[in-house]
Structure 1
Amino acid sequence: MLYLTGIIITFFLVVILASKRNKSEADKILAIWLFCTGFHLFLYYLHYQKDFASFPFLLGFELPMPLLQGPFLYLYTSALTNQNLYKKYNLLHFLPFLIAVLFLMPFFTLPFSEKLKVFENEGKGYENLILVLYGFILLSGITYALLSLRKLSKHQKNISDQFSSSEKINLRWLQYLILGSSIIWCVVIFFEDKYIFSFVVFYLMFIGYFGIKQVGIFTNQTIAENLVLNISSNESIEIENAAEKIKYEKSGLSNVKLQSIHQKLTQIMKDEKLYKNPDLTLAELSQKLNIHPNILSQVINSAEGKNFYDYINSQRVEEFKKLILLPENEKYTLLSVAFECGFNSKTAFNRNFKKVTGLSPSEYLK
């Protein structure tokens, strides 16, 4: 009953994703991933029920299926964080699965009765092939889990380089997805199939519950929400495609030019107080200065010794220190003044204020 529940939930999530309007690349990858996972769970259910006679041609097809999990996790992570820039090579990630299928073809072409005997005798005659396949499955799963974590770490760094506020950028969905997949691979190493697939079912239930709660995963997401969830896809592609050009420009950016841009930056922040926009991004600020975002990022890093996130929030802290001393602001709470300076949460305000001054706001006022 547990496995059947997992199958129903999985295909229900696939239907939700398939019916979603304006599906992103990540949505499509997740839908195919869930479909393959549901199909794999169905194959195990037939094995568990000893009902392969109903689908004799499917017997044994579950053996290479785990080789799909790692690539799908990696590609979904890449797409969701807008780092999937070499799409034409995506299918190469599934080459190990195809190779495994080819090696298993002699088994697949056997009559059903003979295949059933092999299963009943725990793979007799195919022991070495199954052992090698198991090794490659573990290697694939662990490698792709690590690669996905690396992608997520890179994206987290990009957030600090691109955004002035991270409170609305919710990466928990992806963190839980990668963590859950990693735990499953640990379960694969130490436990037998019935425990592995039981854990997979609970994992799928969690994906359904948390994914539906998470804005934009199984629901249609507004443009504004999409902008704060991820770095703009077009912007990421532009930056990545121009990487070599920008690298050259950075190396050729003279100190005089750097100081000139920094002076313009300082002046525009003083005159227009752009940091008061709680959702200010590096791209928006670079447009104001009419320079490439990577150049502006280099200027901030070199002249201020900070990333974009820390630079903007230090500006907000300095503005707060000025405003809080004005007599007309005595009637307002600290948080009200903080919001006026561009902070969008109490947590962000307290964290950044202490980071800049070494004191909490109340300690500073005393």
Structure 2
Amino acid sequence: MLHIAGIIISLFLALLLFTKKGKSTADFILAPWLTLTAFHLLAYYILISDFFIEFPYFLGFEIPIPLIHGPFLYLYIATLTNQRNRLPWLIHFIPAVVAYLLLLGFYTLSFSQKIIVYQNNGIGFESLLSIIRFPIVPSGLIYVVLSLILLKKHRKNISGQFSYVEKINLNWLVYLTIGMGIIWLSIILGNDISTFILVDLFILFIGYFGIKQVGIFANQITDEPLVAITSGALKNHEEANDSSPLIISNEKTKYEKTALGDEQLLNIHLQLKLLMQGEKLYKDPELSLDELAKRLGVSSNTLSQVINSMEGRNFYDYINNLRIAEFKQTVILPENKRFTLLSIAFEAGFNSKTSFHRNFKKATGLSPKAFCQQEKIQLGNQS
């Protein structure tokens, strides 16, 4: 019954994603992944219930599916975090394709012959099944590690493009990836029942957060049809997004095409300071590098170079330091004694207590409360 519930939930969540308005590219990956998971659960249920004797039509098709889950996880995270790879995405599915090709001999058998093979633990195909199953667990664990590496890079990258991280740090995907790792460990231990219970929980988790997750980067919202999941369409999609801000870890590579002279750096930096002093854009809690660059009439890559070179910090730290300075100027004013620390922090541009306390301590070495005590500032509630 639990597996039937998992199948229904998978299909329901996939349907929600297929019909979701303003779908992101990641949704076009998650929806077929959930559909595949539903089929995997269905095939497993047919096997454990011995229903395959009356319904042998799916026999053999479930065997290579575990080789597909790892690539789907990796590609889903790569898309959400905008860490595109120039290699065609379909390369990740080559092992599964090879496995299906190796099973062609089995697929050509009659239904009655397939049933006999399954009833006798794969008789006649033992060596072939061993070859196919051998890379399944290593492949799954490798993709778990690769996915965690992507998420680690993402945490570093968003600090260079956004002034907030709370809604876009994708912590839920870290837990999801660890959950995938636990599923693979369960497979190693050979407990099928616990494995598929974990899969059911995995479906609920990824479905709930996946549907809620919006595109983080400006180029991630699309309504192109699902047929885009082909090598040609994916290539076109990447080419269409070449103008979007790419995430590049190497600083030298990042700026080599937009090297600015000292005069240009000084000029853009001056414009930036005047804009911040005049309009206090840092008070927008969701200010991004891309939005600020548009206001200055420069590329986001150029602005990032200016901030890194002239301020000696990334965009996230630059904006939050301005917010802290604004907080300090505001909190000392006598007319603001009736306000709380948090309300003044929100007015300065912070969007959470955690972010405010973390960044304030990082910049000053003091907690906000300790700072107020040091400056002999009395507020209504120093929390």
Secondary structure of the 2:319 match is helix
| Aligned partner of 2:262 among 247, 255, 260 | 255
Deviation digits for residues 126-145 of structure 1 (CA, Å, limit 9, x no counterpart): 22222221222123212222
Letter in 1 for 2:313: K
8 A contact 1:83–1:236 mirrored in 2: no
Residues in 1 aligned to 2:307 and 2:189: alpha-carbon distance in whole angstroms: 49
Which residue in the other structure is 2:297 paired with? 290
Task: State the 1:350 CA deviation.
Answer: 1.5
Residues in 2 aligned to 1:332 and 1:49: alpha-carbon distance in whole angstroms: 65
- Among all aligned residue pairs of Structure 1 and Structure 2, give the percentage whose two residues are the same amino acid: 48
Letter in 1 for 2:10: T
Q: Flag the structure with higher helix content.
A: 1
Which residue in the other structure is 1:336 paired with? 343
In structure 2, relative to structure 1, the CA distance for the partners of 1:119 and 1:192 (3 Å cut) is farther
Which residue in the other structure is 1:205 paired with? 204
Residues in 1 aligned to 2:8 and 2:246: alpha-carbon distance in whole angstroms: 40
For residues 1-366 of structure 1, the aligned pairs below 5 Å read 1-84=1-84, 86=86, 89-169=88-168, 171-208=170-207, 211=208, 214=209, 217-218=210-211, 226=214, 230-233=216-219, 237-240=243-246, 247-250=255-258, 252-366=259-373
Residues in 2 aligned to 1:278 and 1:21: alpha-carbon distance in whole angstroms: 26
Structure 2: runs of 5+ lacking an equivalent: 221-240, 374-383
Task: State the 1:236 CA deviation.
Answer: 7.6
In structure 2, relative to structure 1, the CA distance for the partners of 1:313 and 1:240 (3 Å cut) is closer
Deviation digits for residues 86-117 of structure 1 (CA, Å, limit 9, x no counterpart): 5x922232221111011011122123333333
Structure 1: runs of 5+ lacking an equivalent: none
**Count of matched residue positions in the alignment of Structure 1 and Structure 2:** 351
Deviation digits for residues 173-210 of structure 1 (CA, Å, limit 9, x no counterpart): 423332222211111112233332232123223444xx
In structure 2, relative to structure 1, the CA distance for the partners of 1:356 and 1:207 (3 Å cut) is same
Residues in 1 aligned to 2:326 and 2:125: alpha-carbon distance in whole angstroms: 71
Moved over 4 A (4+): 234-237, 241-246
Deviation digits for residues 228-278 of structure 1 (CA, Å, limit 9, x no counterpart): x5121168852339999963334x323343233223322322222221222
What TM-score, normalized to structure 2? 0.83
Task: State the 1:62 CA deviation.
Answer: 1.3
Task: State the 1:357 CA deviation.
Answer: 0.6
Residues in 2 aligned to 1:363 and 1:314: alpha-carbon distance in whole angstroms: 18
In structure 2, relative to structure 1, the CA distance for the partners of 1:4 and 1:336 (3 Å cut) is closer
In structure 2, relative to structure 1, the CA distance for the partners of 1:241 and 1:151 (3 Å cut) is closer
8 A contact 2:10–2:35 mirrored in 1: yes
Task: State the 1:32 CA deviation.
Answer: 0.7
Letter in 1 for 2:246: E
Task: State the 1:19 CA deviation.
Answer: 2.7
8 A contact 2:155–2:169 mirrored in 1: no
